[in-house]
Structure 1
C-alpha cells in the first residue's frame, strides 16, 4: 500500500530551513536582513522636547485670519483689511447689510468669541477652546514627528507624550554627532511655510520702520534667510495668503543652475486660493516664508495654481530634509530641546547578556525535563521548540522589526508556552495509550483532544497580545510582537510539525513497542484507566 504524503513533516522541514537561513544574519552578524535592536539594547538618541503651545494658538489664529480673508474676498464682501491684534482678529465691514453673510462664514468655526460693534468685528478663541488647541498641538506634534521619522527611514522610533506639554523621542541606532544634529533639526524644526503678500507701498522704507509701526499697518517685518545686503528685510502682510497645510507633496530637485531647490504641489483648495491671489496680483511680489524667514520673493508674472518652488542655500541633505518636513506637515508650534542625551550601548549589552542567560538557562532546563520525563517524545518537543525560536527571529529579520528588552521577555515567555502545548499533546497520547488504544490511534486521539485546548488558550493570548500592540506604545508593542509571533509559531510547530514527525516514525514505534523509550510510559500501564469513572476491572470486562 502506497504511503500517504506526510505534508506535516515537510511543512516543518521547510519552515525550519527558511527560519535558519533568515536567522543567520541576525545571529552571526553576516550581511543580509537583520533584526533591529531597540534603544534599550543598542543605544541611540534620546530627546525631550517642550512644545510652545502659545505659538500654536497664534498659528491657529493666523490660519483663521487667512481663511476669513479668502472667503470674504471670494464672496465679494467688502471689508477693511483683516488684521491680527495680539490675541484676536479685527476687521471692519463697509456695508451693514452684509453682516448676515459674515456671520454665516464665522459660524463654520467652533470655539470663537465674536463681538461686533460699530461695524467692527473682533474675533478671539473662547477660554474653553484654548486648552483644546493646546492639546491638539501636542497630538499633532507627536503625529508629525512620527511621520518625519518614518519618511526619513528610521526603524521603530518611540514618540510619546511626557507631562502636559513635553514629548519624548527615542531613536535607536549609533549615530555620529553630525547625524544626531541633523536628526535633532529634522525632529524639532517647525517647517511652517507661508505665502505672504509684500506690502509694496511701504516696503521701500522697511529698514527705517519699527515693528510697532509695521503692526499698525497690519504688516510684519521679516528677515531674508540669506544675506541680501541692504535689502535683508522685507515688509509683508501679517495675514498669510496660504500656509503649508495646503501642500500635498514636496521633493528635492536641482534648478537650471544646478543648485538644490524644493518643488512643491498644492492640494485642490490651496491651488484655488493661490490661483485667485496670483491672478489679481500680477506684477507684485509674493514672499515664500519658512519659519519666519523669507527664502524668496519672486514677482508674479502670471496666474500660478498648483505648484511652486522654494530656492535657498540648500545642499543635498537640507533639501531632502525640507521636503520631508513639508510632506509630513508643519509642526503646530516651535519646540525647544530641553534635554538631549545619547544612550550608550553598555546598558543594552548588559540587558542582552541577562536576557540570553535567562533564555538559554530556561531552554536547557526545559530540555532536561522533557527528555527525562518523555524520553524521545521530549526530544521531538525540544526540536519543535528550537524551530519555534528560529521562526520568531526569522520573521522579525524579514520585516526588519525592532527587538527591545520587553521583546526578549516575550521570547522567553514563548519558550514556556511552546513547551506547554507539547506537554498537553504528550499527556493526551499517554491517556489514550492507558485506555488500551493502539499507538497510531493514540497519536490521533492525542492530537485531536489536545488541539482544542491549545487553540483556545493560544487564541485568547493572541487576542490579548493584539490589544497590547494596538493600544500600547514602544516597549509594550515590542513585547506584543514577539509574543504574537511566538504563539503563531507554537501552533505551527506543536500541532502540525510534531504530528508529522510522529507519523514519519510510526512504523518504528509500532515495531519496537517500547512505550517507555518513546513516550516515557511503562508498557505495564497500557489498558489501565486512571479516571475516577471507570475502574480497571470494568475496562477488562468490556
Structure 2
C-alpha cells in the first residue's frame, strides 16, 4: 500500500506542475480530470485499510466523546512538586500526541497522579502506550571499562568482580527472530554526557536497512560529544537507557554530529517509541496504578443528534446552491463531495482522531468551500453580463476571484502556523486540521469546480450558466452607514468586555481552571439522560463519563 501511495503522490506532483504550466484550455481540463482521479485514489488508499481479519475499515479513529477508549491512572514516584507534575503532563502529552491530532485527555489529579484517556486503543496499542507512559528515558553516555572483557571472561558465568570506578550492566542484543540476548558488560560509573544534551531524536535505518534511532545534540552536547570521541578513539562507548546498555560501539573517529542507537534487530515500532521517549524524558519515574476502559463522554442521543445536525446542514447547503446556481450548483456539490473525501484522506494520513468538535470543523470547512464557489460564480455572472462568451466568462471569473480567495486563505494559514508554532496538543491539532481543510477547499474550488464549469460552458454555452437572482439592483452604499456601524460595533465590544468582567472565571472551562473529580458507583445501570437531567443547569459545565467496569461514573 505504501508503494501505491508513493506512486500516486509522484503522479499527482507531476500532473499538478503540468496543470499550472499549461495555457491551452482543453489540455488543462484533461489534466484536471487526471489530477482529480489521482488525488481521489491517493485519499481512498489513505482512508481505508485492511484489518487482521482482511476486512476493509476506515483509518480515522472515533474520539473519546464518540466511542470511548482506555484510561490509564499514573502515579509519580517520590516527593513531587507542582512543577514536576506539570512537566510530566507535558512530556506525556508529547509522547502520546506529538502532532496534536490523537485527541487524548491528559489531566493532573491531586498532587502526584495523572489521568490519561486515549481513544480507540487496541490490545497491541495498549502495550505500546504502557511502555511509552512508564518509561523515564534516562539517557547516559559512558565509556566501557578497559578491563570489561577480561573481567567478564574471568568470572566464568558468575557475577564478575567490578572495580570501584565501574558498574556491571546488561548489554541488549536483539536477534533476527525477535529474542533479546543480554550479556554482562562493565562500564565506567562516571557519566560523560546525559540526556539533557539531547535536542532531537528520530527513527531512521542503517546501511543494512535495520531500524535505528538518530540522536541530535544541542550545541553544548555536540561539543562535549565531539571532545569525548576525539579523546577516546579506539575505546568503546556505552549508550545506556534506563540502566540498560543498548549499544557499545568502538569509537573510530571524532564525531561532532549526531549519534546512532542501533539495538541490534530493533523493530521500526520500537525505534519510533524509543525516539519519542528520548525527545521527551521524564524527571520522575511513573507507574501505572490503574487501567480501565471508558465509555463515550457523550451519550448516544448527543452523538446521534450531532451527526443528524451535520447531515441536515450539508443537505441544506447542497439544496441551496443547487436551486440558486442550477447547473453550476451541481458542479459545486460534486466539488464539495470530493473536498470531503480529500480532507478525510489527508486526516487519515496524519492519524487524525475524529471528535464531535472535529466533525463540526469538517462542516465548517465545507462552508469555506461553498464560500469560495459563491465568490467565483457571482464573478462569472458579472463577466457574462459584459457580453463575453461562456468560456471567456468562466475563465475571467476564476481569474478575478482568485486574488480574493487566496488573500483570505493565506491570512488563515498564517494564523494556523502561529498556533502550531506556539501551541501544543489540541491547539496544534486544530491548526493542522485548519491548514489541511484550506488546502482541500482551495483545490476543490479552483481546480475541480473550474473544470466542471468549463465543461458546462463548452457543452451548453451560456444557457448552462444561468443562475437565480434575488436582487436585481444590489448597488448598496455601505460607506454611508459607517457611523451607525462603528457605534454598533463599539457597543457590542463593550458588552462583551463587561460580560467577561462580571462573570470572571465562570466563563472558563475545566481545561483552564481545573476542577474536582468525583466517582459514583451505582447498584444498577443508570441512563445518561437521567444523570444529565439530575445535574440541571450544571449539565453544560460538568463532564460526565461512564466506566464499563463496576458500574462507576
What is the TM-score with the length of structure 2 in the denominator?
0.53
Cα distance, 1:388 vs structure 2: 1.1
Contact 2:416 2:435 (C-alpha < 8 Å) held by counterparts: yes
Matched residue, 2:135:
189
Select the residue among 380, 389, 414 that pairs with 2:340: 389
Cα distance, 1:414 vs structure 2: 0.9
Cα distance, 1:394 vs structure 2: 2.4
Structure 2: gaps spanning 5 or more residues? 1-22, 146-163, 171-186, 204-211, 249-253, 478-553
Matched residue, 1:115:
none
Cα distance, 1:490 vs structure 2: 1.9
- SS of the aligned residue for 1:47 comes to strand
- 1:97-127 C-alpha deviation (Å, 9 max, x unpaired): xxxxxxxxxxxxxxxxxxxxxxxxxxxxxxx
Matched residue, 1:37:
61
Cα distance, 1:52 vs structure 2: 5.0
Cα distance, 1:379 vs structure 2: 0.9
User: Which entry has the higher C-alpha Rg, 1 or 2?
Assistant: 1
Cα distance, 1:418 vs structure 2: 1.0
Cα distance, 1:246 vs structure 2: 7.4
The answer on 1:46 being equivalent to 2:71 is yes
Report the Cα distance in structure 1 between the residues aligned to 2:389 and 2:101, rounded to whole angstroms.
Answer: 54
The answer on 1:5 being equivalent to 2:30 is no
Deviates more, 1:447-456 or 1:19-28: 19-28
Matched residue, 1:269:
224
Select the residue among 513, 520, 525 that pairs with 2:468: 520
| Cα 1:460–1:272 shift into 2, 3 Å | closer
Matched residue, 2:475:
531
The answer on 1:493 being equivalent to 2:444 is yes
| Cα 1:144–1:242 shift into 2, 3 Å | farther
Aligned length: 401
Select the residue among 403, 407, 414 that pairs with 2:358: 407
| Cα 1:439–1:138 shift into 2, 3 Å | same
Select the residue among 329, 332, 340 that pairs with 1:378: 329
Contact 2:101 2:353 (C-alpha < 8 Å) held by counterparts: yes
Cα distance, 1:503 vs structure 2: 2.4
Contact 2:91 2:282 (C-alpha < 8 Å) held by counterparts: no
Cα distance, 1:412 vs structure 2: 0.7
Select the residue among 140, 146, 169 that pairs with 2:94: 146
Deviates more, 1:456-465 or 1:336-345: 336-345
Structure 1: gaps spanning 5 or more residues? 56-130, 199-218, 226-235, 252-261, 281-285, 299-304, 534-542
Cα distance, 1:342 vs structure 2: 3.0
Report the Cα distance in structure 2 between the residues aligned to 1:308 and 1:435, rounded to whole angstroms.
Answer: 67
Report the Cα distance in structure 2 between the residues aligned to 1:436 and 1:278, rounded to whole angstroms.
Answer: 82
Kindly report the root-mean-square deviation, in angstroms, between the aligned alpha carbons of the 2 structures. Answer: 6.0
Higher RCO (CA-CA < 8 Å; seq separation 6+): 1
Cα distance, 1:444 vs structure 2: 4.2
- SS of the aligned residue for 1:342 comes to strand
What is the TM-score with the length of structure 1 in the denominator?
0.54
Report the Cα distance in structure 2 between the residues aligned to 1:465 and 1:42, rounded to whole angstroms.
Answer: 28
Report the Cα distance in structure 2 between the residues aligned to 1:470 and 1:263, rounded to whole angstroms.
Answer: 25
- SS of the aligned residue for 2:71 comes to strand
Contact 2:139 2:194 (C-alpha < 8 Å) held by counterparts: yes
